[in-house]
Chains A and B, each alone.
Chain A
Amino acid sequence: MPISRPTDVTATLDALAASPDADLLAGGTDLVVEVNLDRRRPEHVIALRRVTELAGHDTTDGRLRLGANVTYSEVEHDLAQLVPGLAMAARTVGSPQIRNAGTLGGNLGTASPAGDTLPWLLAMDAEVELASPEGDRSVPLANFLTGPKSTARRPAELITGVRLPRVEGPQHVSKIGPRNAMVISVACFAIVLDTTNRRVRTGMGAVGPTVLRSPDAERAVTQALDWDALTCPEDAIDAFGRACAEATAPITDHRSSAEYRRHAVGVLARRALRRCLST
């Protein structure tokens, strides 16, 4: 049968086992476009829209789980209190129509270096939940993303959701595109100030083969911050921006130059940190 429309994870995994090369269809904003543009010819599609376990979110043991079918719009409108940085990122995705269709699972599965939710998810140490006939496993996002549009997902596996630790503290996500709406990321920066564990965590998009962190910059600024007052010396803020820029490995393409991307991430890092501090 060319299209499978399973309603639960077990049936999805069965369908996947029967045809490991099947295309997994969530919001369609990547897969159907590739078909329209003649870059992919589907032989068998497994449609995930009806799989109930992939919907919604829940919290267990202080860890938040977002289902793979959660759309950008749901994040933007319904989850802004729970995951403010992700909501900021979600609002920059494509258009309202795209945000209504596109899913977190799709953003993870496509694994574009410019994927808009990925920098924040990386900064949050998110773990990707994968189900397979052999059982479930979760993989830290940093290990899940193995390169441009390539992931650690095995052929028989299904992305069921993403798990996030509870993190207290300010956060910010900013993204650059050469238009004020509906634009692919030229550079994206996410920052999370974990005030409980007193750690600064970052994620950078569209400035490397996959989303990147800047561990040196994180370490240095974590030490420079006055965590009680939530302030930071100006020179340390500037140094943070520079260190983040240095941690990038951008390319030049038709969307931007490597030089601009590196520069821009440095500026975004500095500004994002400043937004998270007390004024």
Chain B
Amino acid sequence: MTGATESYELDVDGRALPVAAAWLGESLLYVLRERLGLPGAKNACEQGECGSCSIFLDDVLVNACCVLAADATDARIRTVEGFGDADHLSDVQAAFLGTGAVQCGFCTPGLILAVHDLLDQVPDPTGLEVREAISGNLCRCTGYGRILQAVEEVKATRSGASGPRGESP
């Protein structure tokens, strides 16, 4: 490798993963995908204009393509791979499946994280709040309709689930 290289360790989904002799210019997206074998964050624009590479960095939703991997040391990185597997889908993942929110699926991992982020912060968002929260995640297949429906279903399920715990109606 010509140019500056760097070795460091990243905390990804609770695992300490070494990165050896990486080119300084590598984004976290590249390192996740090509060095650490975590392709769930997708590469569609590499300039923060599509949200396909959304991940959590210290619990904050960001585009991995805008994070310099060598600067992501001592931060907790959470990817879609850490959110559920085939046997343990998150409620958002399950709702995306059930409502037909997935077509080609390229935007899906980023959107799932964006929806988790929204609903963790705002449990009962208005329709406009949902649209604004996912406005940084481009989808070219669905026209967003089924994705918005998936969010509504998760909202309904979560509020139903919290009912028996005695929250006021």
Q: 1/0 per residue B69-100: CB within 8 Å of A?
A: 01101100000000000000000000000000
B24 touches A95 (CB 8 A): no
Set B46, B66, B133: member contacting A28, Cβ < 8 A: B66
B135 touches A181 (CB 8 A): yes
B66 touches A33 (CB 8 A): yes
B48 touches A94 (CB 8 A): yes
Point out the residues of chain A lying under 8 angstroms from B24, CB to CB.
Answer: 2-3, 42-43, 45
Of the listed stretches A61-69, A96-104, A119-127, A260-268, chain B binds A96-104
Point out the residues of chain A lying under 8 angstroms from B65, CB to CB.
Answer: 32-33, 36
Set B4, B51, B54, B60: member contacting A42, Cβ < 8 A: B4
A95 touches B71 (CB 8 A): no
Q: How many residues of B contact A (CB 8 A)?
A: 32
Point out the residues of chain A lying under 8 angstroms from B133, CB to CB.
Answer: 96
Given A2-B24, A35-B27, A43-B3, A49 contacting B135 (CB threshold 8 A): no
Set B25, B46, B135: member contacting A96, Cβ < 8 A: B135
Instruction: Tally the A-B contacts, defined by beta carbons under 8 Å.
Output: 107
Set A27, A42, A43, A181: member contacting B66, Cβ < 8 A: A27
Most buried by B among A2, A37, A94: A2
Point out the residues of chain B lying under 8 angstroms from A43, CB to CB.
Answer: 3-4, 24
Distance in angstroms between the alpha carbons of A73 and B46 in the assembled complex: 21
Point out the residues of chain B lying under 8 angstroms from A96, CB to CB.
Answer: 61, 114, 117, 132-133, 135-136
A55 vs chain B, min Cβ distance (A):
13
A179 vs chain B, min Cβ distance (A):
9
A181 touches B71 (CB 8 A): no
Set B25, B67, B137: member contacting A41, Cβ < 8 A: B25
A182 touches B66 (CB 8 A): no
Given A32-B27, A45-B68, A100-B61, A182 contacting B132 (CB threshold 8 A): no
Q: 1/0 per residue B45-56: CB within 8 Å of A?
A: 011110100100
Distance in angstroms between the alpha carbons of A35 and B24 in the assembled complex: 10
Point out the residues of chain A lying under 8 angstroms from B3, CB to CB.
Answer: 41, 43
Q: Does B142 contact A (CB under 8 A)?
A: no
A33 touches B135 (CB 8 A): no
B66 touches A98 (CB 8 A): yes
Point out the residues of chain B lying under 8 angstroms from A73, CB to CB.
Answer: 60
Point out the residues of chain A lying under 8 angstroms from B63, CB to CB.
Answer: 29, 95, 97-98, 101
Specify the chain A residue showing the minimal Cβ separation from B55: A97
Q: 1/0 per residue B21-36: CB within 8 Å of A?
A: 0001101000000000
Task: Give A residues with C-beta under 8 Å from B.
Answer: 2-3, 5, 25, 27-29, 31-33, 35-37, 41-45, 47, 49-50, 73, 94-98, 100-101, 180-182
